[in-house]
Structure 1
Amino acid sequence: MSTAGLWSASSPALVTGEVGPVVDCDVLIIGTGMGGGTLARALAGSGARILLVEQGGFLPREPQNWSPSDVFERRRYKNAPPWEDRTGRTFTPGVHQYVGGSTKVYGASLPRFREEDFTAVEHWEGTSAAWPFSYADLEPHYAVAEQWYRVHGSPGADPTEPHRSGPYPFPALGHEPYVADLAERLRRQGLHPYPLAMGVDRGEGGACVRCRTCDGFPCLVGAKSDAETCGVRPALEDGRVRLLTGTRVVRLDTDPSGRTVVAARAERGGAPLELRAGTFVVGAGAVESAALLLRSQSAAHPHGLGNSSGLVGRGYMQHNNTALLAVDMRRPNPTWFQKTLAVNDYYRPGRGGPYPLGNIQLLGKLQAAMLKAARPRLPRPLLRTVTAHSVEWWVMSEDLPHDDNRVVLAPSGRIRVHWSPTNTRAHRELVARARRMMRRAGYRFIAADTFGVETNSHQCGTLRAGEDPARSVLDPYCRSHDVRNLFVVDASFLPSSAAMNPALTIAAQAIRVAREGEVLP
């Protein structure tokens, strides 16, 4: 079948009809999340025929986008098949298979990693691995990613802030009065609360209305800086970039030598589909990408594609995460857009002890239906009273890489994630300091809920990058050590997880790979 029409000037960017059993392109990108979507935008205009493949479709814009009951209680947008934990118990993962991936519902927090995050860092329970490139290597690409993803921030307020070659593209989002008062209460404790770097379309002519349904919700007005809005759609403006939705890639085939991928085997609408390209880029998420390589066994790659090191799937990380709810019944919290404040005083050794502890940042404002999803036995009137007087934090510590934490294929055919949290002492210390911080700020009731393997929105590390092929899967530009035309641009490449939201770092590395990594065939 000829596929030239997919790239003709009159062809729509989204391919919705029949495409035949074989599709040819120059660059195939599997997955449209922060890595794949950003890479597509970075390659647009190159003249190459680029095909994006997404197993889901577009997340619909509909009134339910802003319904806490639909999003949290009824889990309307959680469409991924179940995974298994290390015991074989099935669970619904916290991932979303849509164009834009899980960024469709993320909290839009887009900080840079700190300079020390790229070096080996000692913790109570081990060492955070050094990266094969430095913060300075990534800094110019961070700047581009901030422009593309409309990042709002304010330099100088965060004591851990890394070097910047220029200002933020947009000023920090202002605090609502309740949050501004809380920030002042924290300053009186000697802390340094700072405006959280956020990616939204806010400002003159912007679509953001500072709603209460941003963090954890799809954006009904398209104002969230997700990978569809800021990566995929700008890429599709180039007539040489196309998108196939509803297409699941099941394996990658190589030539007899095993050194070159020649085809991706996929399923679309119940029919098999062969995708041929000069370069294959995987960006399906750290778990799904590792599983795809493990499924792609062959005589040349008996333990999975690109797995001569035996490390494909190993080193899985997802952060140690605790949601902390603080209640002061004397003061109602009328805040609408709450996620504007963070604290990094415990990010480095010093104030928190001899080792790093992590980051504390506000969550979007909790509503009764959201809490009901987690605590179904509690009466709704009580939950409404509590959430009307509460403020919520996300307490995040680094999860250290360990080879026993890994992704495998279970006998059932499902993905199985073996994960036991690491660096837990640091996390307990950070949660204790967050509790103390809020008590000193006047909050009498504080509850904390630490999350397990189901909360894996920060999954990373399963295909780590490095210089040594015996100790890593990818090179510093995310190219497979074993397969010359295979790249992976999602969070799989992270050698360590740091203790910051990883989305901007994934985007910056995708831009670096596109501009310096010789992706084009």
Structure 2
Amino acid sequence: MSEHYDIIIIGTGAGGGTLTYKLAQSGKKILVLERGPFLPREKANWDTKTVFNTNRYHNSEVWYDKDGNELHPGMSYFVGGNTKVYGAALFRLRERDFEKYQHQDGISPEWPLKYRDFEPYYVQAEKLYQVHGKSGEDPTEPFRSEEYPYPAVSHEPRIEEISDALKTQGLHPYHTPIGIRLNEAQRYLSACIRCNTCDGFPCLVQAKSDAEVSAVHPVIGQDNVTLITEAKVLKLLTSSSGREITGVEVNFQGQKRIFSGDIVAVACGAINSSVLLLKSANEKHPHGLANSSGLVGRNFMKHVLGSIIGVAKKPNPTAFQKTLSINDFYWGEENYDYPMGQIQTLGKISKEALEGNPEAYAPLTPEEVATHSIDWWITVEDLPDANNRVRVNGDKIILEYTENNSEVYNRLEQRWIETLKSIECGQQIIPNCSYFVKGGKSYFTGKLPLDGVGHQVGTCRFGEGPKTSVLDLNCRTHDIDNLYIVDGSFFLSSGAVNPTLTIIANALRVGEHLIERIK
């Protein structure tokens, strides 16, 4: 099969799906290649044990760390990519995230483009992904040219109590910006039912603003857009000069096929995009495509992430818990001048999710913990380090990674536990909870291991010169004229909020550039 297209897009996640939506408006002939199928809509979408204890909605491939140990990254290879199971928290980076600043463990570098360059595209992204939020609550909130397109998702009573209690401590909790299709004013018109199986789950009723629902579905019926699923791209082929992509080699239904396009946009995620470039090495590009700088795969970042499950004396019947965030420690705190990070509520923990490791909560039972817990997520910036890299060895994918900002993470974790303990009255976290005759710990912490790569960014950074970056400011590779990378690869730093909205906004920005180019 050798049909030619104006544009080929590889991947349908936050970057590729959004780029497909944007470029479909051009009328140009577009081929979209997705290595996975459509995620099946089935009752098991909301089954905790299926979602978290099987590979039903995650790929079972094995990667390796720098010491040769197996990693099981659980990537979701479906139309919509990892957004099919994300928590739909869609934050903007702060203005200072685009500037150079000092961390305890190093420097977060300056971006060649600033927040003001991304702001108009953040507006577009929030509209396209139906982001619910409220401005003016978060003291670190960046400038907004428009209010959120949809009102903030309300707190349920127990979370409202927590929010009020935090305010008495002088903190500034705010409503988490969430991309869901919720109409609280007219519930009978709402696709979202505010269930407790959203964060980490596929959405059975398609009420989560993932890339499939928000970006791919609206355009896939157009005559100029062709989507081929279960088509894994194996290699990119170049011209004899090495200056353009002339073919995209695909494994489709067990056969190799080659497609060609005037422009090729890779959006496989920061890890798999760099893997594809490295595996496409040829005589003109012996170290991998677009890798004259030697930076392809380097500066891999994934955030330093973890959870706190706080067991309170008072029960927590909340179903949709992911509505509250705190940025008071984002840039540090009194007597500590380094950035710390962001805190947000998790989707509500269930006893089914805890039953796989009941001894960790003894003498409490998983049900006792789940019915009384308030569940939190901590995000700390992962600093770029050229030695943190994605590498390939034959068919093996290797993540050579050493964590930084670990002490900062520990500080923020302890700071938040102390804050929870200081909340008075019915909200208080009791060190030896008298509610349970058994006693026991009042909080449980866990740090996401290396294979937790949902926030992957940075492996093909953008910049102004081919010696210090892989991509130019429009995310075109310096070395190959018609090759673009449109996912989280372009990030220079990770900030301390979920990267998805910035990936979406950048895809809209690059899409605008490509529409001008293909005219």
TM-score (norm 2): 0.94
Q: Deviations over 1:473-512 (max 9, x none)?
A: 0111111011010000110111110000010100000000
Pick from 422, 432, 438: which aligns with 2:404? 422
Secondary structure of 1:443's counterpart equals coil
**Could you say which residue in structure 2 is the equivalent of 1:301?**
285
Stretch of structure 1 that moved more, 446-455 or 274-283: 446-455
Gaps of 5+ in 1: 1-20
Is the alpha carbon distance of 1:375 and 1:115 closer, same or farther for their aligned partners in structure 2, counting shifts above 3 Å? farther
Pick from 485, 492, 495: which aligns with 1:495? 492
**Could you say which residue in structure 2 is the equivalent of 1:98?**
78
**Could you say which residue in structure 2 is the equivalent of 1:49?**
29
Pick from 77, 102, 114: which aligns with 1:122? 102
Gaps of 5+ in 2: 431-441
Pick from 426, 443, 462: which aligns with 2:429? 443
**Could you say which residue in structure 1 is the equivalent of 2:57?**
77
Q: Deviations over 1:17-71 (max 9, x none)?
A: xxxx323211000000000000010111211111110000000110000011111
Instruction: Give the conservation status (yes or no) of the 8 Å contact 1:80–1:96.
Output: no
Looking at structure 2, the residues matched to 476 and 359 of structure 1 have their Cα atoms a distance apart, in angstroms, of 28
**Could you say which residue in structure 1 is the equivalent of 2:508?**
511
Pick from 208, 228, 231: which aligns with 2:212? 228
Instruction: Give the conservation status (yes or no) of the 8 Å contact 1:479–1:486.
Output: yes
Is the alpha carbon distance of 1:104 and 1:519 closer, same or farther for their aligned partners in structure 2, counting shifts above 3 Å? farther
Instruction: Give the conservation status (yes or no) of the 8 Å contact 2:251–2:257.
Output: yes
Shift, 1:121, TM fit? 1.7
Looking at structure 2, the residues matched to 91 and 130 of structure 1 have their Cα atoms a distance apart, in angstroms, of 32
Correspondence 1:237-316 to 2 at 5 A = 237-316=221-300
Secondary structure of 1:234's counterpart equals coil
Secondary structure of 1:267's counterpart equals strand
**Could you say which residue in structure 2 is the equivalent of 1:198?**
178
- AA partner of residue 44 (structure 2): Q
- AA partner of residue 469 (structure 2): S
Shift, 1:414, TM fit? 1.6
Pick from 165, 171, 186: which aligns with 2:145? 165
Stretch of structure 1 that moved more, 55-64 or 508-517: 508-517
Shift, 1:385, TM fit? 1.1
Pick from 466, 476, 479: which aligns with 2:476? 479
Shift, 1:206, TM fit? 2.5
Looking at structure 2, the residues matched to 141 and 200 of structure 1 have their Cα atoms a distance apart, in angstroms, of 19
**Could you say which residue in structure 1 is the equivalent of 2:129?**
149
Q: Deviations over 1:195-251 (max 9, x none)?
A: 000000001422000000000000000000000001111121432111000000011
**Could you say which residue in structure 2 is the equivalent of 1:360?**
343
Looking at structure 2, the residues matched to 71 and 351 of structure 1 have their Cα atoms a distance apart, in angstroms, of 41
Q: Deviations over 1:439-497 (max 9, x none)?
A: 11211311211111111100110001111211110111111011010000110111110
Shift, 1:87, TM fit? 1.2
**Could you say which residue in structure 1 is the equivalent of 2:434?**
none
Instruction: Give the conservation status (yes or no) of the 8 Å contact 1:73–1:372.
Output: no
- AA partner of residue 498 (structure 1): G
Shift, 1:372, TM fit? 2.8
Looking at structure 2, the residues matched to 374 and 276 of structure 1 have their Cα atoms a distance apart, in angstroms, of 50
1:138 maps onto 2:122 in alignment: no
Shift, 1:376, TM fit? 7.4
Looking at structure 2, the residues matched to 352 and 93 of structure 1 have their Cα atoms a distance apart, in angstroms, of 38
Looking at structure 2, the residues matched to 340 and 31 of structure 1 have their Cα atoms a distance apart, in angstroms, of 30
- AA partner of residue 336 (structure 1): A
**Could you say which residue in structure 2 is the equivalent of 1:13?**
none
Shift, 1:155, TM fit? 0.3
- AA partner of residue 48 (structure 2): P
Shift, 1:94, TM fit? 3.3
Shift, 1:75, TM fit? 3.8
Shift, 1:309, TM fit? 0.1
**Could you say which residue in structure 2 is the equivalent of 1:27?**
7
**Could you say which residue in structure 2 is the equivalent of 1:15?**
none
- AA partner of residue 481 (structure 2): R
Looking at structure 2, the residues matched to 135 and 106 of structure 1 have their Cα atoms a distance apart, in angstroms, of 24
**Could you say which residue in structure 2 is the equivalent of 1:520?**
518
Is the alpha carbon distance of 1:270 and 1:432 closer, same or farther for their aligned partners in structure 2, counting shifts above 3 Å? same
1:399 maps onto 2:382 in alignment: yes
Looking at structure 1, the residues matched to 335 and 148 of structure 2 have their Cα atoms a distance apart, in angstroms, of 29
Shift, 1:129, TM fit? 1.5
Looking at structure 2, the residues matched to 381 and 75 of structure 1 have their Cα atoms a distance apart, in angstroms, of 29
- AA partner of residue 443 (structure 1): I
Shift, 1:373, TM fit? 3.8
**Could you say which residue in structure 1 is the equivalent of 2:371?**
388
**Could you say which residue in structure 2 is the equivalent of 1:346?**
329
Instruction: Give the conservation status (yes or no) of the 8 Å contact 2:59–2:74.
Output: no
TM-score (norm 1): 0.93
Secondary structure of 1:182's counterpart equals helix
Is the alpha carbon distance of 1:291 and 1:361 closer, same or farther for their aligned partners in structure 2, counting shifts above 3 Å? same
Would you identify which runs of 4 or more consecutive aligned residues in structure 1 move more than 4 Å?
374-381
**Could you say which residue in structure 2 is the equivalent of 1:182?**
162
- AA partner of residue 168 (structure 1): Y
How high is the sequence identity, in percent, across the aligned residues? Answer: 43
Looking at structure 1, the residues matched to 78 and 465 of structure 2 have their Cα atoms a distance apart, in angstroms, of 35
Shift, 1:426, TM fit? 1.6
- AA partner of residue 348 (structure 2): K
Looking at structure 2, the residues matched to 150 and 387 of structure 1 have their Cα atoms a distance apart, in angstroms, of 30
Stretch of structure 1 that moved more, 508-517 or 297-306: 508-517
Looking at structure 1, the residues matched to 360 and 304 of structure 2 have their Cα atoms a distance apart, in angstroms, of 26
Q: How many residues align?
A: 499
Shift, 1:358, TM fit? 0.5
Instruction: Give the conservation status (yes or no) of the 8 Å contact 2:358–2:366.
Output: no
Correspondence 1:447-466 to 2 at 5 A = 447-466=444-463
- AA partner of residue 85 (structure 1): D
Looking at structure 2, the residues matched to 216 and 167 of structure 1 have their Cα atoms a distance apart, in angstroms, of 28
Is the alpha carbon distance of 1:418 and 1:352 closer, same or farther for their aligned partners in structure 2, counting shifts above 3 Å? farther
- AA partner of residue 357 (structure 1): M
Is the alpha carbon distance of 1:380 and 1:78 closer, same or farther for their aligned partners in structure 2, counting shifts above 3 Å? farther
Stretch of structure 1 that moved more, 502-511 or 346-355: 346-355
Secondary structure of 1:140's counterpart equals helix
Question: How much is the aligned-residue C-alpha RMSD, in angstroms?
Answer: 1.5
**Could you say which residue in structure 2 is the equivalent of 1:3?**
none
Shift, 1:381, TM fit? 8.2
